[in-house]
Amino acid sequence: MIYTKPRGLIYILRQDYYIRPPGKTQYRVFLYLFLGGTDMKHVGLYIRVSTEEQTENYSIPEQRERLENFCKAKDWLVVDEYIDGGYSGAKLDRPAVQKMITDAGTGTIDTVLVWKLDRLSRSQKDMLYLIEDVFIPNSVDFVSLNESLDTGTAFGRAMIGILSAFAQLEREQIKERTMMGRIARAKSGLVMGPTAPYGYRYVDGQLIVDEYEASIVREIYDLYLQGYGMEKVSNMLYEKMQLTSASGYAAVRRILSRPTYAGLVHYSGEVYPGQHEKIIDVDMWKRVQEKREHSRNYQRGKRQKHLLTGMIYCKRCGAKYAYHVHSGNNYYDRYMCYSVCRSRKELIKDPHCDNTKYLAAELEQLIIAQIKELALDESKFNKVIQKRIEAPDPTQAMQKQIKEIDKQINNFMDLYQYGKVPVETINERIEKLTQEKSAIEKSIRELNIKPIPKREDYEPTLSRVDSIFETGSADEQRAAVRNLIDHIDIDGENVVIHWVFE
């Protein structure tokens, strides 16, 4: 005997189940006794149709009829129907699907039957979630008529493994295509992201400069190159940028780090020329990045209370110099190698180091005098950068290779015009040459050749040296030092300043 209708039977079964929980085992025992010992599957029919699919083959009555006929042929008991009318199969946030998931967990059903796989879900990811994370853990079989898929059989379970493999392959391919699309977009000079960076507006999909915000961006770069820290800059431009106290520092840091303002596009570690108008020149952007890399950021500078802390290195053992406070008179405060003072064991490089200790006031005045001399004597600045000017260009040989590759590509294009070489051969050779050229260009970018500095780049600080060290605050003095000096080496009586523009 096959019990699929009337609904009264289902109601009686449900009523007994809910009166006498708990769950699956007792429910099955009741059905088994009620049906005279027949071992039936307890099936939930899932039926879905979207608004656009209201055709004869996809209609709810048509799906129900086919599923019920299959249950009769298999001697299965239909316990419930889960019908989502007018819902898309793209997502699982459908009321009938959610009820079916709940019933699968409570043991109300032990089989889910659908007409086609896409009735349950059009997403492989969601389909596998239902089968592997909902049905299988709750001992619920899944059957699809159209695809002859039954997870209750060995073949059906094997098919799930194949579906999982194809789903993983599809995810990897989507990821790869997305990555390739983004790289192609970056190479074409288009900026990523739905929101335009500060200083720009999107107009018809193109980045257009917002003149008011662009003037603030330029001011941020100018102030930072003058030696002001990011937090100080954000405080100075607080009202202009309409910042909140929480976003000021982060906004300035984001602006200073973005190559977009120099007319460049950055993606996946590579930088490409952009199609948009630049707000600052490339040299200014590079100088800011150098300053961010070599100088100490604001937070670290805030912890350093003294003028030269964090900047002095022992030439003998390689350790940093510490500021050692004298307990009685601060005149006797000293800068000394960490290996000598041994105040922090983790910073000791050589416990036998005997490098010279310097009175803090004397060493600081020595460094300030060198900075003032640099500000007054332009020839000293020129002498420092002359080494950079005379140094051989490490990219010269690579630039020569690029010119040779361009010449070969042009030759192949001429052969194509004359029809002397098959097109396939030409395309293959040109593609290979293009790959070689891209690899060389990447190597040049990785060398990160710094532009030759100009004195006017540091003029905002050099022109204010006297006033900074006579009446300026401690923060302003530290900022000026870090804007001009990369680090200081000490070897006995020899104190060597390494300028940031060397």
Which among 188, 220, 183, 213 has a CA at the least distance from the CA of 198? 213
End-to-end CA distance of the chain: 95
d(CA 67, CA 96): 17
- Residue 300, both tokens: 């670290």
Q: What angle do CA 227, 359, 485 make, to 5 degrees?
A: 25
d(CA 483, CA 408): 46
d(CA 358, CA 334): 5
Number of H helices, E strands in the chain: 20, 15
Among this protein's residues, is 50 annotated catalytic?
A: yes
- Residue 500, both tokens: 């940031």
Residues 107-121, buried b or exposed e (16+ Cβ, 10 A)?
bbbbbbbbbbbbbbb
Which among 225, 217, 219 has a CA at the least distance from the CA of 262? 217
| SS3 at position 46 | strand
d(CA 457, CA 258): 20
Q: Which residues pair with 43 in a beta bridge?
A: 78, 111
**CB burial class (10 A; 0-12, 13-18, 19+) of residue 437?**
middle
d(CA 250, CA 271): 22
Q: Which residues pair with 42 in a beta bridge?
A: 77
- Residue 290, both tokens: 């150098």
Q: Which of 50, 88, 164, 257 is catalytic?
A: 50
Check: CB of residue 208 under 8 Å from CB of residue 201. yes
DSSP letters for 366-408: HHHHHHHHHHH-HHHHHHHHHHHHHS--TTHHHHHHHHHHHHH
Which among 498, 490, 459, 464 has a CA at the least distance from the CA of 370? 498
Residues 180-203, buried b or exposed e (16+ Cβ, 10 A)?
eeeeeebeeebbeeeebbbbbeee
Q: Which residues pair with 273 in a beta bridge?
A: 264
Residue whose token pair is 């100018």: 222
Q: What angle do CA 136, 139, 141 make, to 5 degrees?
A: 75
Residues belonging to the active site: 50
